[in-house]
A and B are shown apart, each in its own frame.
Chain A
C-alpha cells in the first residue's frame, strides 16, 4: 500500500485521505495511519507546491553549482554537505559520482546575489577546492511535470 500511496501523493499532494482510500480500495483509517507513519519515519519529507516562477512577476534565478571538495580528517562528505545545505538559499545538495563531488542547486533573486553567495560563502570554505556555476536559463520540466505545455484532450467526445 505504501508504494501506491506515495506514487499518487508524489503527483498530487492535496488529495484527501478519503479519495486515496477509494482509489486504492482501502479504508480511510488505514490510509491515514499509513501516511502518518510515513511522515513520522520521514519517508514523506514534506508537501510542496510546484511553482512556475517564470509566470509570476517575482524575479528568481536558479543556479547549478558543481563543487569539488577535499574531505578532511574527521570531516567526511556528510559534514561538508551540512555546511552547505544549512544555508536557506540552497535548494538541494547532492553527492555525485564522477568529475566533481557535490551538485548544489541555489536560488537567488539576481545573478549577482548568486555570485556573491559563491564568492563569499561557498568558495572560502576550507574543504572546497573549486566551484563551477551554471545558471538556469529556462525550466522546461520540473519534478516530473512539464511546465510549459497545457494539456488538452483531443479525443473525440463519443466513440464506440
Chain B
C-alpha cells in the first residue's frame, strides 16, 4: 500500500500539551490547574434560550454567515466594547469557535511562502494553521522582561518583504499579558508602513483586569487592515457551544465565508440562538465572572510571592505564568515531577512555544478552595526543591 497521507499533515508536530494530557489522564486522582476554559457554567438564561430554540424546532441550517439578528448584536457589541463599527451584512461572520476563524483567515490570505508573524508563547493553533495554509510561520519570541508584550523593535526585526500577516494574541493565553492602547499604538505605524495585516485574537477581551480592553482595530488606520476574532467561549463561559466570530473588512470576510460555506455550512443553530441572548442580556454575567477571576488572580499572585516564585503581574485572561528557572529544571521536567509527587497538573510553558521554557502556565479558572489546595501542594513542592538545591 502506498502512503495515503499528506506530507504536510504528517510532518505537523502534535500539540505539546497532548503528551502531557496523556500522562495526566492516567492519574485519576490528580487535581489540575491546567484547564483552558472557565469553571462557570453558561449562565442559565443563555442555556434556557438554547433549549427553547430546540423545543421550537429551530433545528435547521442558518445562512452561511450566521443568523442576521446575531450578527447585528455582534455589530452593536463591537461598537459598544471596542468602539468600532462593522456592517453585519458584509463584515461579520459567525464561526465554529474563534479557532475556525483563525483557520479561515489564514487560508483566505496566504499564498505559498507568505510569512505569518506569530508571537510566542501563545495559543497552540496559529502555527499549524499557518502551515496547513502553506504559509511560512515566523515566530517572535516574546520576552519576560517586556512582560511578554510585543514591542516595536521585535516587530521591526521580524518583518521581511514577504511578511503578510501578524497574529496579535492579547489578552494572551498562556501568559496573561495584555497590550494597552499606548503599547499597540507603538506598532501601528510600522504595520501600516510595511503593509502588514493583523489577525487580532481577542477571545479573552472581556477578561481584562486593568481598565478597558483596547482592540488594535480601533486605532487610526487599522480598521481596514485588521480582522478581529472573538467568541463566546471565554466571556460567557460557552466553550462547549463552539461559537465564535470574525469581524473585519468585507474583502476578507467574503473570501472566508466561501471557505466556511464549503467546509462548515454554518455554525450550530441552537448555539447561535443562545448567543443572541448572551449578547443582549449577558453584560452582568461578564461583570460578575470578571470580578471573580480578578479576585483569584490576586490570590495566586500573593501565593507565588509568598513561596518565592517570581511571576510578572498578568492583566488578562485567567492564567499566571510563573518563572521556575531557579530550580534548574526544564518546564517539562518541573511539571512532570510536580504531577508525580504532588498530583497536580500544570502545563509546561513550552507547550506554547520555545520561549515558554522556564515557565509554567497556571490557570485560575477554579474555585478558591481548589486553588488553595493546589497551591498548598505547590508551596510544599517548591520548598522541597529549595532544600534539595541547598543540600
Q: Choose, from B3-11, B46-54, B292-300, B376-384, the stretch at the interface.
A: B292-300
Per-residue interface assignment for chain A, residues 142 to 153, with 1 indicating a CB less than 8 Å from any chain B CB and 0 otherwise: 000000000001
Compute how far the CA of A94 lies from the CA of B142 in the bound complex, rounded to whole angstroms: 60
A156 within 8 A of B: yes
From A4, A19, A155, contact of B299 by CB (8 A): A19
> When the two chains form their complex, are residues A22 and B298 in contact, meaning their CB atoms are under 8 A apart?
yes
A153 to B31, CA, bound (A): 10
How far apart are B314's CB and chain A's nearest CB, in angstroms?
14
> B386: CB under 8 A from chain A?
no
Let me know if B36 is at the binding interface, CB within 8 A: yes
Please, which residue of chain A has its CB at the minimum distance from the CB of B365? A155
Question: How distant is the Cα of A23 from the Cα of B296 in the complex, in angstroms?
Answer: 6
A157 and B30 in contact, given A19-B299, A23-B296, A23-B299 (Cβ under 8 angstroms) = yes
Q: Would A158 and B299 count as touching, CB distance under 8 A?
A: no
A25 within 8 A of B: yes
**Residues in chain A near residue B352, CB distance under 8 A:** 160
- Whose C-beta in chain A lies nearest to the C-beta of B34? A158
Contact present for A158 and B24 (CB under 8 Å): yes
Across the interface, name the chain B residue whose C-beta is closest to A24. B295
Contacts of A8 in B (CB 8 A): 295
B34 and A159 contact, CB distance less than 8 A:
yes
- Give the contacting residue for B34; candidates A19, A22, A25, A157; CB below 8 A: A157
Compute how far the CA of A8 lies from the CA of B368 in the bound complex, rounded to whole angstroms: 11
A12 to B369 CA separation, bound complex (whole angstroms): 11
With an 8 A cutoff between CB atoms, is B37 at the interface? Answer: yes
Q: Name the segment of B14-22, B150-158, B192-200, B249-257 touching the other chain.
A: B14-22
- Provide the residues of chain B in CB contact with A158, threshold 8 Å: 17, 20-21, 24, 32, 34-35, 345, 347
Tell me the complex Cα distance, A158–B360, Å.
13
Q: What's the least CB distance linking A29 to chain B, in Å?
A: 16
Q: Are B298 and A23 in contact (CB under 8 A)?
A: yes
For window 26-44 of chain B, which residues contact chain A by CB distance below 8 Å?
30, 32, 34-37, 39
Inter-chain contact B37/A157, CB cutoff 8 Å: no
**What 1/0 flags go to A121-160 for Cβ under 8 Å of B?**
0000000000000000000000000000000010111111
Binary interface encoding of chain B residues 263-297 relative to chain A, with 1 for a CB under 8 A from any of its CBs, else 0: 00000000000000000000000000001000110
Q: Does B124 have its Cβ within 8 Å of any Cβ on chain A?
A: yes
A153 to B28: give the CA distance in the assembly, Å.
13
Contacts of A23 in B (CB 8 A): 295-296, 298-299, 368
Contact at B17–A159, with CB atoms within 8 Å?
yes
Tell me if B37 and A159 are in contact (CB < 8 A).
yes
Chain A residue at minimal CB-CB distance from B23: A158
Residue of A nearest to B298 (CB): A25
Residues from chain A with a CB closer than 8 A to the CB of B35 are 155-159
Taking CB atoms and an 8 Å cut-off, the chain A residues in 1-59 that contact chain B are 4, 8, 12, 19, 22-25
Complex-state Cα separation, A159 to B97, whole angstroms: 15
Cα–Cα distance between A156 and B291 once the two chains are bound (Å): 24
Decide: B298 and A24 in contact? CB cutoff 8 A. yes
Name the distance in Å between B49's Cβ and chain A's nearest Cβ.
21
Residues of B near A155 (CB, < 8 A) are 35, 37, 39
Among residues of A, the one whose C-beta sits closest to the C-beta of B300 is A22
Residues of B within 8 Å of A157, CB to CB, are 21, 24-25, 30, 32, 34-35, 345
Is the CB–CB distance between A160 and B30 below 8 Å? no
Note all chain A residues with C-beta closer than 8 A to B124.
160
Most buried by B among A19, A157, A160: A160
**In the bound complex, how far is the Cα of B20 from the Cα of A157, in angstroms?**
10
- In the complex, the answer to whether B302 meets A22 with C-beta atoms within 8 Å is yes
A22 and B17 in contact, given A157-B35, A158-B34 (Cβ under 8 angstroms): no
B312 at interface (Cβ–Cβ under 8 A)? no
Which residue of the partner chain, among B20, B30, B299, B347, contacts A22 with CB atoms under 8 Å?
B299
Could you tell me the distance in whole angstroms from the C-beta of A146 to the nearest C-beta in chain B?
A: 11
- Taking the closest CB of chain B, its distance from the CB of A19, in whole angstroms, is 7
Q: Say whether B351 faces chain A, with CB atoms less than 8 Å apart.
A: yes
Q: How far is the CA of A66 from the CA of B21 in the complex (A)?
A: 57
Interface digits, B324-359 against A, CB 8 Å rule (1 contact, 0 not)? 000000000000000000000101000110000000
Query: Is B77 interfacial (CB-CB < 8 Å)?
Result: no
A160 near B299 (CB under 8 angstroms)?
no
- A158–B31 Cα gap in the complex (Å)? 10
Q: Which residue of B lies closest to A159 (CB)?
A: B36
Contacts of B37 in A (CB 8 A): 155, 159
Q: Which 10 pairs across A and B sit closest by C-beta, in order of nearness?
A: A23-B295, A158-B34, A159-B36, A157-B32, A160-B124, A158-B21, A22-B302, A160-B17, A157-B24, A155-B35
A-B contact pairs, 10 of them (CB 8 A): A4-B291, A8-B295, A12-B368, A22-B298, A156-B35, A157-B21, A158-B21, A158-B32, A158-B345, A160-B125
Which A residues lie at the B interface, using CB under 8 A? 4, 8, 12, 19, 22-25, 153, 155-160
Q: Which residues of B contact A (CB under 8 A)?
A: 15, 17, 20-21, 24-25, 30, 32, 34-37, 39, 123-125, 173, 291, 295-296, 298-299, 302, 345, 347, 351-352, 368, 370
